[in-house]
Structure 1
């Protein structure tokens, strides 16, 4: 089942088709021609290229004009051409961490604005709606996200409620069991969201580590949220794989030395 109505077929179902197109044995569906192509592999902008698209996937990049010349004598070869002369083709941007609800917009509305600015994939930590509406709110947001014109993946909120009942009245309580069910039900639930209770993790809190276990035993990455150099090693030892809280060079170095991406 595609994640969204815009999703392409899985790569493993298309490898023979894409190989045939790349070799010129079969025609692409679409050729985007005349543009310069930005390659993030070579760190270069390659001039006068065309991109062959088949089944929504890039089959190959060729010198501009190749398709017309090659398929001119191939009976029945038909494809659409988009003239992108003067443009630069670049990979879409990926936003690795966003709280869509903080924008006060639905996932679809947010996606439209993001797409217009070059972002084609979002990784959303729906902590806020989970903190108010529990797992039901997260699932509502995921159903909406499936209609968005880009890919939206979920990092399942890991710390709901964020604090103890003495400090907040939360509408949600995402227990380890609920988190496990979200992973199992929604294929776009690809990681555990930022583990904000990093002190509890370091001190061995049972619930915190039970939440970690739901992700780790399913092979999902665990996103971190660590302040304080004294907590870095314990976070890494507990399975945290990345963090976006590198507030200075020293702690950033600590993260990297302990195997945590920043």
Structure 2
């Protein structure tokens, strides 16, 4: 801590300085010109900085890594470890993944495989555990059902961020016990609960939200997204 404070005060050189950068401030919508001083793996400051090692960026843009907030890695037909170099090359530093495809095929072992593969990657992968295995009662899958009790041992895993897109809307609106147990378990753990509710509106949307579901990536119109 002392080192980074001294580097920020310019009382000592930074470990690394990225010179002549155009720094994108995503909070104020500004582009600032200057150096970026790094000490102990953290940004100590920006402006006119000096470092033990300096790299001239020649006016290149520097901005935080992108976050892909909802990704099904299995659709890429490769593992998390294999996909990460492609994502990183396009500036995606973090991806929040829903492994419901592999969970439908082979259950908890499939989810654990994805978590293990992600741990071998240089990317920051986070996972939301599938809320709907199978996705509907008349679907035939390879793994059978995945209950709240089945998923509970994974909640403490450092890469598990929450419950994935709750797509079985009738189960929520009818307060089906199996769904209520899943919502309660993830709420008790303080984890995020993602939504999946196209065309839901009015009192039905309010009931869906009242169940503790925090977002929805399925809006089809601007009006639906605003509601």
TM-score by length of 2: 0.93
Deviation track 1:157-209 (CA, whole Å, cap 9, x = no partner) reads 11111112x3323325321012221112x111011111111121011110011
Residue among 17, 22, 31 paired with 2:8: 22
The equivalent residue for 1:183 is: 155
Superposed counterparts of 1:66-81, under 5 Å: 66-67=49-50, 79-81=52-54
**Partner residue in 1 for 2:187:** 216
Structure 2 unaligned spans of 5+: none
Q: CA 1:103/1:131 → structure 2, altered by over 3 Å: closer, same or farther?
A: same
**Secondary structure of 2:171's aligned partner:** helix
Q: 1:198 to 1:17 in 2, by over 3 A?
A: farther
1:137 matched to which residue of 2?
110
1:58 to 40, 43, 67: 43
* Counterpart secondary structure, 1:24: coil
Which among 23, 34, 37 is matched to residue 23 of structure 2? Answer: 37
Partner of 1:110: 83
Greater strand proportion = 2
Instruction: Note the C-alpha offset of 1:139.
Output: 0.9
- The alpha-carbon deviation at position 119 of structure 1 amounts to 0.7
The alignment partner of 1:136 has SS state of helix
The answer (yes or no) to whether the contact 2:104–2:141 under 8 Å persists in 1 is: no
Q: Structure 1 169/42 Cα, relative in aligned 2: closer, same or farther at 3 Å?
A: closer
Alpha-carbon distance in 2 for matches of 1:18, 1:125: 37
Instruction: Please identify runs of 4+ aligned residues in structure 1 that moved more than 4 A.
Output: none
Distance 1:127 1:95 in 2: 17
1:18 deviates by 2.9
What do the CA deviations read for 1:109-130 (whole angstroms, capped 9, x no partner)? 2111111111111001111111
TM-score, normalised to structure 1, is 0.81
Looking at structure 1, the residues matched to 90 and 26 of structure 2 have their Cα atoms a distance apart, in angstroms, of 18
CA distance in 1, matches of 2:102, 2:42: 34
Q: Is the 2:80–2:118 Cα contact (8 Å) retained in structure 1? A: yes
Number of paired residues? 225
Q: Which runs of 5+ in 1 are unaligned?
A: 1-14, 69-78, 255-262
Q: CA RMSD in A?
A: 1.6
Write the deviation string for residues 210-255 of structure 1: whole angstroms up to 9, x where unpaired: 011111001111100112215311111000001101112332232x
Instruction: From the superposition, tell whether residues 131 and 17 of structure 1 become closer, same or farther in structure 2 (CA, over 3 Å).
Output: farther
Deviation at 1:27, TM superposition (A): 3.4
